[in-house]
Structure 1
């Protein structure tokens, strides 16, 4: 089962539904933001009571965030991520310290309207030589700080921009096409997130040029610790999505090219496939009503 946002040809208004074996069952909420205003037990009950409506082929799946829901991300939560940041940076101790520190690194990634979904393009910065995908498990958290589901996230990043100076992190992480999420939220009551396999594959002209795997068991911090820091001094009235960091980072000599196809899959959660483009003009559709 997954929870999705969708739009049909007969009704252009986005709707929320449960999808199970290709059948959609619409939920009685105006948007994902309203769903995240409910406690997890209420969301589970709504999903169980939903009545089948239409088949998947009749609709278009949309990004699984809307309203004032924000996407945040955690950094340096895997040992591989720490090592990669140290490798690329002139200020290595910053990343070594944050990996072991009590407080995690958290940063704003995207408002809901800038998120791209499965099949849509992701972007690389034209002013950066070293751009990489970062495959991550993302948490969907309601306004009450409860983890209600999981998504696949591609936290696109410019390693050369961040490596030049850690203060450039916003430019390395937040730009057109930098945040991709899978279309379906896998409910938390159906998944044990403690040991999920994560895989990244990059294909160029039909051939696999890079692939790697990791597991969520390699993450250093408990997921509830990350959400506690996210909610510690801020309200999230429409809930939030929190991506939990990457354990897969290609080597420094790996360069993404325009036209590459990035595939991120997480067992029991979903798959995310996005072609690579360069330049903000490719993402004007995100701001079109």
Structure 2
């Protein structure tokens, strides 16, 4: 099931995306559900063509917990060792944006880079000191994400809060895919200025994660309570590179879909 959060003429709703994944927006519809998706899914009588609504970030998390250096090749490309335990950091909830929202390049940085990632969305009742089995049960679904990073500030600050925390530095979407086997999915990141001339910058597979999803959820839950709706970014494959004004960056993950965002300079 694909669950989206979207804006329409009458307000904002959650809905179930219907249609073949390869059909494109013109071939998909979205059926509104009652209330929040955490619980029994009940459809209302409202339905829209997906092309007629605006997709929002599929969830508004209380926190975004990120995992650094969780692909060996990415750790190597930045000159880092593979960590012995998951390397955690946080992105603020205010960094979250949705599909087609602009990534805004801050004046403080001269080197903002993309990081395509698989996002884990936690469902009820959340997770606290969970073992692997309970950790897997706590997963509601998955989405595409982009852990946008001011690389020069990450180096100069010696810690990652500012580099990872700017507004718009956590694109998330296009929806939440549930019931998905994520043990071996392709993650692809493309960047370009023309939809017909996009360059593949990152190409990896989730089978190469150093720490798998149950391990991450369990480990994090022994540090902090994970609440329903919280998001975990699981790490990025090799190939991170700079974004510039006028670019569009697209993250594609098998079984989920694609997340595209334009890049603009913050005035």
Structure-2-length-normalised TM-score: 0.84
- 3-state secondary structure, aligned to 1:108: strand
- Separation in structure 1 between the aligned mates of residue 89 and residue 233 of structure 2, nearest angstrom: 10
Task: Return closer, same or farther for 1:58/1:263 CA change in 2, 3 Å cut-off.
Answer: closer
Secondary structure in structure 2 of the residue aligned to 1:136: strand
- 1:20 aligned to which of 9, 18, 21: 18
Contact between 1:156 and 1:178, CA under 8 Å: does it hold in 2?
A: yes
2:178 aligned with 1:196: no
For 1:156-180, what per-residue CA distance to the aligned partner results, in whole angstroms no more than 9, with x for missing partners?
011222123432x111111022110
Instruction: Provide the C-alpha distance between the structure 2 equivalents of 1:237 and 1:100, rounded to a whole number of angstroms.
Output: 26
- 1:276 equivalent in structure 2: 263
Distance in structure 1 (CA, Å) of the matches to 2:212 and 2:149: 24
1 CA distance for matches of 2:44 and 2:95? 31
Q: Which runs of no fewer than 5 residues in structure 1 stay unpaired?
A: 36-42, 87-94, 282-289
| Matched residue SS, 1:152 | strand
Q: How far is the alpha carbon of 1:20 from its aligned partner?
A: 1.3
Alignment size in residue pairs = 246
CA gap of 1:117–1:108, structure 2 versus 1, over 3 A, is: same
C-alpha spacing 1:209/1:236, structure 2 compared with 1 (3 Å): closer
Task: Indicate the residue corresponding to 2:132 in structure 1.
Answer: none
Task: Note the C-alpha offset of 1:52.
Answer: 5.7
Q: Distance in 2 between matches of 1:132 and 1:84?
A: 13
Contact 2:111 2:242 in 1 (8 A): yes
Give the match for residue 7 of structure 1.
Answer: 7
CA distance in 2, matches of 1:7, 1:256: 28
Selected match of 2:112 from 101, 124, 131: 131
Query: CA 1:17–1:205 in 2, change beyond 3 Å: closer, same or farther?
Result: closer
Deviations 1:256-277, CA, capped at 9 Å, x for gaps: 2100111110010110111111
Would you say the 8 A contact 1:23–1:53 is kept in 2? no
CA distance in 1, matches of 2:259, 2:157: 30
Residue number in structure 2 paired with 1:65 = 59
Counterpart-to-counterpart distance in 2, 1:61 and 1:208: 22
Tell me the secondary structure at the aligned position of residue 4 of structure 1: strand
Aligned to 1:91: none
Query: How many angstroms does 1:182 deviate by?
Result: 1.2
Query: SS of the counterpart of 1:74?
Result: strand
Render the CA deviation track for 1:65-89: whole Å, top value 9, x for unaligned: 13x5322211110012211332xxx
Which is richer in helix?
1
Whole-angstrom distance in 2 between the partners of 1:224 and 1:150: 13
- The TM-score normalised by the length of structure 1 is 0.78
Partner of 2:83: 100
Q: Match for residue 185 of structure 1?
A: 176
Three-state SS of the structure 2 residue aligned to 1:100 is coil
In the TM superposition, what whole-angstrom CA distance separates every residue of 1:141-199 from its partner, at most 9, and x where no partner exists?
Answer: 124331110000011011222123432x1111110221101131001x2x210110011
